[in-house]
Amino acid sequence: MIKAKQDALKTLQPLQPYHPMQDVLGIVDKHTPEKLSKYTPKKLIQKYQLGKSQLAFTLCTLGIDGKSCIPEWDTTAFSTVLEGNK
């Protein structure tokens, strides 16, 4: 797990939602990052529950070139929600 100081959250905005299937299908999120407002670090932590995290595991197969990985999105499995220390 990588932790950053709250101050770093100022420069990491807007946060990008994780939608692997939408990304593959080219579906555009209605809430594009340019339209999202910036929050103070504390508000951002509250709004997106950044004290919690979840891992996504996806099977990838080797591409024809023998180097690239091709994600098999229908195999994605998510861990239980992990909570950091308060």
Record the pTM. 0.53
- The chain-wide mean pLDDT, for the chain, equals 78
Beta-strand pair 52-53/82-83: antiparallel
**Identity of the amino acid at 4:** A
pLDDT of residue 86: 56
Residue 58 binned pLDDT confidence (cut-offs 50, 70, 90) = very high
CB 17 within 8 Å of CB 29: yes
Instruction: Output the pLDDT for position 2.
Output: 56
41 cis-preceded (ω within 30 degrees of 0) = no
H/E element, 20 = helix 20-25
- pLDDT on residue 21: 65
Residue 57 burial by Cβ neighbours in a 10 Å radius (0-12, 13-18, 19+): exposed
